[in-house]
Structure 1
Amino acid sequence: MKESQSDSVELQSVAVNKDEKLPKLNQKVQKQGELYRDLFVEALDGIIFWSSEKGIVEANKSACRIFESSEEELKNKKIEDFIYSKSSKSIRVLNEMYNKDSIRDELVFLMPNGQKKILEFTTKLHSINDHHMTIFRNVTERYEMEQELRERERKFRSIFEGTLEGLLLWNDQFEIVDVNPAGKKLFRGYKEELVGHSLLEILEKNQVSRDEIEEHLKELDLNGHAAGILSITLEKGVPLNVEYSTKKNVFSNLNLSTFRDITDKLQIEEHLRKSDTLSVVGQLAAGIAHEIRNPMTALKGFIQLLEDTIADDHSMYFGVIKTELNRIDSIINEFLVLAKPQATKYLEKDIVQIMRETIELLRPQAVLHNVQFQLELENHIPPIYCEPNQLKKVFINIIKNAIEVMSSGGYIYISMKEEEGYIYISIQDEGEGIGSELLQKLGEPFYTTKEKGTGLGLMVSYRIIDDHKGKIEVESEKGKGTTFHIKLPIKK
C-alpha cells in the first residue's frame, strides 16, 4: 500500500515537471523560429538551399528578388541553369561548387526576364540536413561603378600624360605624387628625381623665394586656388618665366599644380611692345615734322625781317619767336616721354595729396576761365604705389583740357573712392562733350579737339596709366560734357 502511494507521488511529480518544461520548450522553439526568420527569411543577401538531385529546395525573399522569380518558380531548378556563359571559368567554378566544401566567386547570371546580373556567391556543402547552401549578393552596380572609375582613371591618365602643360600632383605634406612628361621637361629632371620629393624644396632649389611660395600657399588656403607668374632659375642657370595655377584637393586630398613656360611669350610681347613704340615714333615723327614746320617758318620769316629791316622796336618779333619756341619745346617734351624709355621708381604716395596739389596748381587758370572745382572723397583713401610726378602729369593734362573746353565757365567734379584693391577716380566737366564717332580716337597720336592742340597730352596720359597697370575710360555725350574714369591698383 505504501509503495503504491509512493509511485503515485512520483508520477505526479513527473507530470508537474513536464508542465513546467513545456512553456520553456515553446519559448525555445519560438526563439529559434525568430532566429530563422531573421537569418534566412529577412536576410538582405539571397540564400538558396539546394541538393544535387532535387535542385533548389528553398529560397528566401532576397534570392527571389535577385533572380526576378517567385520561390515556386525557383524550386527544382539548378543554379547552373541561370549561369549566362558556359565558359571555362564557369565550368571550373561549377566543378568546385560540387566538389569543394566551400567556395567563393562571382559569375554573370541570366535572369528569366533576360536581365544579366553579376552575382557574388558563397557555397557551403552539406550545411543543413544534407542540403547545400549558397548565398548570393548582386554586385552589378558595384562592378559598373568600378568599370566607370577605371575608365575615368584611364581618361585622366591619358589627359595627364598627353597635355602640353607641366602637371604636378602633390599631397598636403607637399610631397610630389606624380608628374607628367611636360612637367619633367619643364623642370629638366627625371620622374624619380621629382616624385617622392618635396615641392617646396624643388621650387627653392630653382631659386623661387620663400616669400613668393608662402604668398601662393596663403592664397591657396584662402580661396582653394591660386595663380600667378614665377621667375625661376634652373640648376644650369637657365632663367624661365613660368605661369602657374594650383587647385586644392582636386581628388583624394591631392592638389594639382599646372606650370606653363611663358618665357618665349613674354619675349615676344616685349618685342611687340618695342615694335609698337617704334611705330608710334614713326607716327610722331611724321606729325612733328608738320607741327615744327609752322613755327620754324615763322621763326625764319621774322628773323629775315629782323635782318632786312632797321626798325627801332623789335619787341613784337621777339614775342612771336618766344611763343613759337615754347610751342616747339612743349611738343618735343611730349615726344620724348613717348619715344624714350623712362626710368620709373614707384613709391607709396598719398594720391589724395597728389590730386589736391594738381588742383592748386591749376586753380589760377581755372579762375581766369570762371571754372570752379568740386572735390568729393570717400573716407580713408589708402596710399598707392605710383610715380607721383607722372600721375600729376596725367591729372594736369585731363583737368587742363576740361578747363579749356569750358569757354563759358562751370564746374569740374572730381571724385575718388577705393574698392576691391583699386582706386577709382572720376573727372567730369560741363563742356560741349564729344561725339561717339570721335570718342574712340582719343589717345591716338596727334588727334585733338582743340585748335592748337597736338593730341600728345592724352597719349602720354594713357601711356602713364598703362605703365601703372591701370586703365582710362572716357564717357561723353554731345552737349552734356565729358567724364574721364581712371582705375589704378593700390598695390605695386
Structure 2
Amino acid sequence: MRPYELHSFDFAFTHAVIGMALVSFDGTLLKWNSALSALLGYDHSELLTSSSSVRTLLSQIREIAELEESFSSFNIHPHRYQQDYYKPTGQLLCLEISISIISDTNGAPQYYFIQFENKTIIKQIETQLQEVETNLLEKDDSFLQLLEELPLTVVITINGIVQYANSAGLQLIHAESLDQVLGSSTTSIVDLSNYQILQERRERYHSGNTSGSVCYLINCLNGQQKYVDGFTLPIIFNGSKAFIGIFKDISQQMLEEERLIQSEKLSTAGQLAAGIAHEIRNPLTAINGFMKLLRSSERMNDKYFFIIESELKRIEFIVNELLVLSKPQTTHISKPVDLLSLLEQVTTLMNGQAALRNLKILPVCADQPIWIHGEAYQLKQVFINLLKNAMEAMNNGGNIYIHVHTTESESRISVQDEGCGMSEEQIKALGKPFYTTKESGTGLGFMITQNIVHNHGGAITVESIPEQGTTFTVTLPMILEPEEAAI
C-alpha cells in the first residue's frame, strides 16, 4: 500500500464500529481494533496472549480460509461465513466473519484481513420467527385436523375459489378426493338459481356487513342436487384473507317439510271438498224433492219454484265465493290507494243496510290521506265483509266503530261492533272452510278476507268478548304519496 493509503486504512481500521483484525497465514493475531476486543470479551493485553477461545476461533478462521482456493483482493468478493463464539462470560455469540487477503504492491499475499460482525440478535429474531412459523404450521395442522373431525361440511375459499374442503364436504358432493374440488369456483357448486343469493352475500361481506345464515341449492359431482344450510365467516388461511363456510345437509329435512306441506294441502283440500259436498248437497236435496212434488202435482205451484230458485242461488253463491277464494288477484292490477277515501266509499255504501237494522257506522279517521299499495276493489271487499259481519252480529241495534291509526310504516284499521261476541274456541276456528257462527253463512267470507289482506302484505287479528262485541283489526303497509292513484 502507498503511505496515504496506509494512513487512511489505519484510521478506518482503528475507529470502525465492527471488529477488525489482521491475521497471519499461520493464524497469529497481528493487529486488531478496540471494537474486536469488546466483541470477543478480552482487553488488549489478553488478546496478545491469545486465550484458548480466541486461538480456537483463529484456528477455525485459518481452516476456512485455507479451504478457499484463492481470494481476490481486499474489498472484492470476500469470503463470508457464520461462526458461533462463547465469550469469557459464557455468552454465546453468532459472528459473521468476512475474510479477505491483503497483498503488497507487487500483488504478493501478506496476511488475512478479517471483519467480525455480531449477528446474535438477528439470529435470535430469525430463530423466533422460525419458531412462530413452526407453531403456526402446527396450529394450521391442528386446525385442519379439527375440521376433518367435524361431521359438518367445511369449505374454505379465497375470492370464491375453493382452497380446502373437509371429508364431510367431499362426501356431501360425492368427491373422491380433495384434488377434485381444489381450484373450483363456488359458482360451479352453487346452483344457477341461487347465484343472486351468492352475489348479494359477497357484496355484503365486501361492504363490511354480516350476512347471517344462508340456504343454498348445490350441484354434486354425480349430478345430484342437495340443499345445505349454514353460515360463512372471514378468516386468515395460509396468510391470505379467506372465508370459511360451515354447512349442514338439509335435503332430507326439506323433503320432509315438502311432504308435510303437501299432506297439509291434501288435508285442507279434503276438508274443503267435504264442506262443499255438505253445503251443496242440502240445497240439491231440497231441489230434488220439490222437483218430484212438481211432477206428481196436477198444477204448477209458484211456491215450489220460489224455493227451487232460492236454493239454486245459494249454490251459485257458494261457487262464486270459492272462485274468489281460489283466485283473489287474477283480474285486477295493484295501484296506490287512498285508504281513507276507500273507507269513506265503503261506509257510504253500507250506511243504507245499517239504517235498516237500526245501526250506525261511526268512522274515526285521520285528516290526511293514507296511501297503501293494492287493488281497490278487493280492499273494498275486505271492509264490506267486516262491516257485514259486524251488522249480522248485532240484532238489537247499536254502533259500529271504524278506527284508523298510523305509524311510520303501516296503518291499522279496526272495525268494532257491539254484538254478541265470540269465545276463544270460536276465534281459533275462524278461517276454517265452512266454519261460521251465522245461521245462513258459508264460512268462506273470512277466508276470502284473510287471503286478500295477506296478498297485500298485511295481517288481520281478532279480539272479542262474549256479549260485548268483536274487533277485527287489519294492518297494511303504507307508501309515500304517489303521482297516480287508483282512487
Instruction: Report if the CA contact (8 A) 2:328-2:451 is conserved.
Output: no
Equivalent in the alignment of 1:274: 262
Matched letter for residue 482 of structure 1: T
SS of 1:448's equivalent in the other structure is: coil
Q: How many residues align?
A: 358
Kindly indicate whether residue 163 of structure 2 is the aligned counterpart of residue 177 of structure 1: yes
Matched letter for residue 132 of structure 1: G
> 1:186-265 alignment to 2 at 5 Å?
186-189=172-175, 190-199=177-186, 201-202=187-188, 206-208=191-193, 211-220=196-205, 221=207, 223-232=209-218, 238-248=224-234, 253-265=241-253
Deviation at 1:225, TM superposition (A): 2.0
Residue from 287, 291, 314 that aligns with 2:279: 291
Deviation at 1:125, TM superposition (A): 7.2
CA distance in 2, matches of 1:230, 1:437: 41
Equivalent in the alignment of 1:352: 337
> 1:405-416 alignment to 2 at 5 Å?
405-407=393-395, 408-413=397-402, 415=404
Q: In the superposition, relative to structure 1, how do residues 475 and 216 fare at CA in structure 2: closer, same or farther (>3 Å)?
A: farther
Kindly indicate whether residue 154 of structure 2 is the aligned counterpart of residue 167 of structure 1: yes
Equivalent in the alignment of 1:365: 350
SS of 2:258's equivalent in the other structure is: helix
Unaligned runs of 5+ in 1: 1-48, 50-98, 101-123, 138-144
Instruction: Report if the CA contact (8 A) 2:194-2:216 is conserved.
Output: no
Q: In the superposition, relative to structure 1, how do residues 327 and 379 fare at CA in structure 2: closer, same or farther (>3 Å)?
A: same
Q: In the superposition, relative to structure 1, how do residues 227 and 131 fare at CA in structure 2: closer, same or farther (>3 Å)?
A: closer
Instruction: Report if the CA contact (8 A) 1:176-1:197 is conserved.
Output: yes
Scaled by the length of structure 2, the TM-score of the pair is 0.55
SS of 1:446's equivalent in the other structure is: coil
Q: In the superposition, relative to structure 1, how do residues 463 and 320 fare at CA in structure 2: closer, same or farther (>3 Å)?
A: same
Deviation at 1:478, TM superposition (A): 3.3
Deviation at 1:483, TM superposition (A): 3.3
SS of 1:182's equivalent in the other structure is: helix
SS of 2:429's equivalent in the other structure is: coil
Unaligned runs of 5+ in 2: 1-40, 42-55, 58-83, 94-123, 125-131, 480-487
Instruction: Report if the CA contact (8 A) 1:381-1:418 is conserved.
Output: no
Q: In the superposition, relative to structure 1, how do residues 151 and 328 fare at CA in structure 2: closer, same or farther (>3 Å)?
A: farther
CA distance in 2, matches of 1:261, 1:347: 42
Instruction: Report if the CA contact (8 A) 1:371-1:403 is conserved.
Output: no
SS of 1:225's equivalent in the other structure is: coil
Equivalent in the alignment of 2:431: 443
CA distance in 1, matches of 2:236, 2:461: 39
Q: In the superposition, relative to structure 1, how do residues 461 and 295 fare at CA in structure 2: closer, same or farther (>3 Å)?
A: same
> 1:84-103 alignment to 2 at 5 Å?
none
Could you say what the CA RMSD is over the residues aligned between the two structures, in angstroms? 5.1
Equivalent in the alignment of 1:331: 318
Deviation at 1:313, TM superposition (A): 6.7
Matched letter for residue 174 of structure 1: G
Equivalent in the alignment of 2:89: 131
CA distance in 1, matches of 2:366, 2:138: 60
Instruction: Report if the CA contact (8 A) 1:165-1:260 is conserved.
Output: yes
SS of 2:463's equivalent in the other structure is: strand
> 1:18-57 alignment to 2 at 5 Å?
none
CA distance in 2, matches of 1:262, 1:379: 50
Deviation at 1:443, TM superposition (A): 1.9
Q: In the superposition, relative to structure 1, how do residues 161 and 285 fare at CA in structure 2: closer, same or farther (>3 Å)?
A: same
Kindly indicate whether residue 416 of structure 2 is the aligned counterpart of residue 429 of structure 1: yes
> 1:381-420 alignment to 2 at 5 Å?
394-407=382-395, 408-413=397-402, 415=404, 417=406
Larger RCO (CA within 8 A; separation ≥ 6): 2
Q: In the superposition, relative to structure 1, how do residues 377 and 231 fare at CA in structure 2: closer, same or farther (>3 Å)?
A: farther
Equivalent in the alignment of 2:100: none
Equivalent in the alignment of 2:15: none
Instruction: Report if the CA contact (8 A) 1:424-1:488 is conserved.
Output: yes
Matched letter for residue 266 of structure 2: L
Scaled by the length of structure 1, the TM-score of the pair is 0.55
SS of 1:431's equivalent in the other structure is: coil
TM-superposition CA deviations, 1:339-383 (whole Å, max 9, x none): xx7697699833635896587357433431144363757989776
CA distance in 1, matches of 2:228, 2:310: 53
TM-superposition CA deviations, 1:159-204 (whole Å, max 9, x none): 6334444332234x334332223333444545334334443x4357
SS of 1:223's equivalent in the other structure is: coil
